[in-house]
């Protein structure tokens, strides 16, 4: 994949490969990289070749990184353990989930809320409890309802959540995904589909859905790191989530071709990604070239 950077020659690409124009100053301004996981860092728990070398390149350049995921069925701590188990250098500060984005949103927009009714896994519940929220059970009246990717969902709890939502309680969902990708012979009903069921029963949709592609997902990283949007690169393999979020946030959108989207699909977009590269290794090489 050719990458044309103003003031630099084409890098590691054949002459007939599509190219992306990008001012070199835009890359030099990058201080932090947000990284999608599945399709960008690994596929089906197989880490792509060169990922740790890429992360080492970022560290050597003084560029921070954060792994992003919409999947709120696991806590940040569980993601750290999983990534470490795959051999990826990672600490708590390197992971940001849609649950984190939701907590940031709630603290800012509905700061008086402390008691919540949660449709989510025990892991998600622990994360909200750690953030200072009280989890209501049974008929205990909450101040708000939060819906996540609940792999432990049962009909009784769904009905209870719908009741409080129908009563007018503030209602937030972690992310919009209707299904969670899987290679198993099943359909994993995700947060967006649960919200659709609630909407059919109550007529209400969430006040906010802070996960990808909402810009709130990156806003949390920008705020916690003290960054401007032009200092952040969003690297991912999906046009309608990762790249759409980068464009809405003013971050540098870097599409990798190791997952869902193709170069042809990217070129056909009304607002194409800022950069299209073969993989994260190619992006790291480009950052090193620009810095050198």
Does domain 2-14+21-28+35-70+212-260+273-291 fall into CATH 3.40.50.1000?
yes
Residue 209: name the closest of 98, 114, 132 by CA. Answer: 98
| All structural domains of the chain with their residue ranges | 2-14+21-28+35-70+212-260+273-291, 100-202
CA distance 49 to 70: 24
DSSP summary character for residue 54: H
CATH T-level assignment (fold) for domain 100-202: Rossmann fold (3.40.50)
Residue 242: name the closest of 175, 146, 189, 148 by CA. Answer: 175
The answer to whether the predicted template modeling score (pTM) of the entire model surpasses 0.75 is yes
Residue ranges of E strands in the chain: 2-6, 19-23, 32-36, 42-43, 46-47, 64-69, 95-97, 115-119, 134-135, 144-147, 171-173, 179-180, 188-189, 232-236, 252-256, 275-277
Q: Which residues of the chain have pLDDT under 70?
A: 1-22
pLDDT at residue 7, as a whole number: 46
pLDDT at residue 101, as a whole number: 95
pLDDT at residue 44, as a whole number: 79
pLDDT at residue 25, as a whole number: 87
Cβ atoms of 170 and 145 within 8 Å: the answer is yes
pLDDT at residue 135, as a whole number: 98
Crossing angle between the packed helical segments 98-109 and 122-130, to the nearest 10 degrees: 40
pLDDT at residue 21, as a whole number: 61
Same fold, 2-14+21-28+35-70+212-260+273-291 and 100-202: yes
């Amino acid at each position: 994949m050719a990458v044309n950077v103003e003031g630099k020659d084409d890098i590691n690409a054949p002459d007939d490969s599509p190219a992306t124009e990008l001012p070199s100053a835009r890359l030099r301004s990058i201080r932090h990289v947000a990284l999608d996981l599945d399709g960008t860092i690994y596929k089906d728990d197989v880490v792509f070749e060169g990922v740790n070398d890429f992360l080492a390149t970022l560290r050597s350049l003084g560029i921070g990184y954060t792994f992003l995921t919409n999947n709120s069925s696991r806590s940040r701590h569980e993601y750290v353990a999983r990534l470490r188990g795959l051999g990826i250098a990672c600490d708590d500060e390197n992971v940001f989930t849609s649950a984190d984005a939701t907590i940031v949103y709630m603290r800012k927009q509905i700061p008086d809320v402390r008691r919540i009714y949660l449709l989510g896994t025990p892991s998600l519940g622990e994360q909200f409890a750690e953030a200072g929220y009280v989890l209501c059970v049974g008929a205990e009246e909450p101040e708000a309802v939060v819906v996540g990717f609940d792999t432990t969902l049962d009909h009784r709890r769904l009905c209870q959540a719908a009741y409080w939502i129908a009563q007018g309680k503030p209602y937030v969902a972690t992310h919009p995904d209707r299904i969670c990708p899987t290679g198993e012979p099943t359909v994993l009903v995700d947060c967006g589909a649960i919200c659709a069921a609630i909407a059919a029963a109550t007529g209400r949709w969430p006040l906010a859905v802070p996960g990808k592609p909402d810009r709130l997902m990156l806003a949390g990283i920008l705020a916690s790191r003290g960054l401007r949007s032009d200092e952040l690169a969003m690297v991912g393999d999906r046009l309608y989530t990762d790249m759409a979020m980068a464009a809405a946030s003013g971050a540098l959108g870097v599409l990798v071709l190791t997952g869902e989207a193709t170069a042809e699909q990217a070129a056909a977009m009304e607002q194409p990604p800022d950069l299209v590269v073969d993989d994260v290794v190619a992006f790291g090489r480009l950052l090193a070239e620009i810095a050198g």
